[in-house]
Structure 1
Amino acid sequence: MAWVAGAGMFMGLLAIAWGIVTLRTGWILPWARRHVTRPRLHGLGALATGASPLMQGLFYFRFLPSASWEVRFLGGNALLLMGLLLIATSQLLPPRRSPDHTHPSGV
């Protein structure tokens, strides 16, 4: 069971690193570039999504003081759902338009 928690922590760290890179530079992975219209929301979603398995692993290996299973379960699921909703929102919102490009004909 420890390898499952360790693999989850590793994936969580990768998602957190991806979120930090996205927030700092705006860089999106190549297979997601076509879909993402708001990189900042995407980065925040990756941070929240990565924090969930990382936190669960830290509880499992007792690096954090143990909370009740309800707090761990509901807190982890809330972080994961929030991150997934932010990632979905970053892909579903229309792209931002600058005011200069709203009427290309100059009217």
Structure 2
Amino acid sequence: MSIAIATIVLGIAFLAGGIAAIRTGWLLPLQRRHVRRPELFGWAQIVMATAFFVQGGSLLLGDAGVRMGGSTIGMGLLFIGLLASVVAQMSRRTP
């Protein structure tokens, strides 16, 4: 139960960071030097927040099938968010 609550709290933190990056372009000081596209990075954080919400919600439910499905969907979303955040950190090529 405490792991589920921790993942949901982590999801809330990612959601807040993603909304801030999309609306204002604000990033954490450690990320400012690396991120080239703050809006894409914000969307990546929202996808990762959704992954944490799915995983935490599935852990709160008692059925083993639901937990396995939620974990699988959450990991897929987390991977998509990770790829989007890597793309957001890559520099744009100008011909």
TM-score over 0.5 for the alignment? yes
Shift of 1:71: 3.1
Alignment partner of 1:30 is 2:16: no
Aligned partner of 2:69 in structure 1 is 71
Runs of at least 4 residues off by over 6 Å: none
Q: Secondary structure at the match of 1:30?
A: coil
Letter in 1 for 2:58: F
Q: Percent identity among equivalent residues?
A: 32
In proportion to residue count, which structure has more helix?
2
Name the CA shift for 1:17/1:67 in 2 (closer, same or farther; >3 Å): farther
Do the aligned partners of 2:54 and 2:71 also contact (CA within 8 Å) in 1?
no
Query: Over aligned residues, Cα RMSD in angstroms?
Result: 2.3
Partner of 1:21 in structure 2? 20
Q: In 1, distance between residues paired with 2:67 and 2:55? A: 10
Asked if residue 91 in structure 1 is aligned to residue 89 in structure 2, the reply is: yes
Q: Which residue of 2 aligns with 1:105?
A: none
- Report the TM-score when normalising by structure 2: 0.85
- Unpaired segments ≥5 residues, structure 2: none
Q: Could you tell me which residue of structure 2 aligns to residue 50 of structure 1?
A: 49
The answer to whether the 8 Å contact 2:47/2:81 transfers is yes
